Amino acid sequence: MPTSLNKVNRMRIKDILLFGMYISIAFTETALQRFELFLPIAILLAESYKEEQRENYLKRELN
């Protein structure tokens, strides 16, 4: 009887580890997809901010 309980416990641990790996892979995949969508938007925002700062600097230099 104790050997069968050890087998059950080992199988449960393997199942928990497998489920945890599945969840972590799914989370990582979702995060990467969202980052892939966010990155171009962040780049555009940074470029427009940089251009705005440049324009403000040039206006100050001319005045």
Q: What is the pLDDT of residues 20-40, one digit of tens each?
A: 888 888 888 777 777 777 888
At residue 2 the predicted structure's pLDDT band, cuts being 50, 70 and 90, is low
**H or E element: which one contains 15?**
helix 2-62
Residue 26's identity, in one-letter code, is A
Cα 53 from Cα 46, distance rounded (Å) = 11
Cα 45 from Cα 39, distance rounded (Å) = 10
Alpha-carbon torsion (46, 51, 56, 57), positive or negative: positive
At residue 13 the predicted structure's pLDDT band, cuts being 50, 70 and 90, is confident
Per-residue pLDDT, 24: 86
Cα 43 from Cα 36, distance rounded (Å) = 12
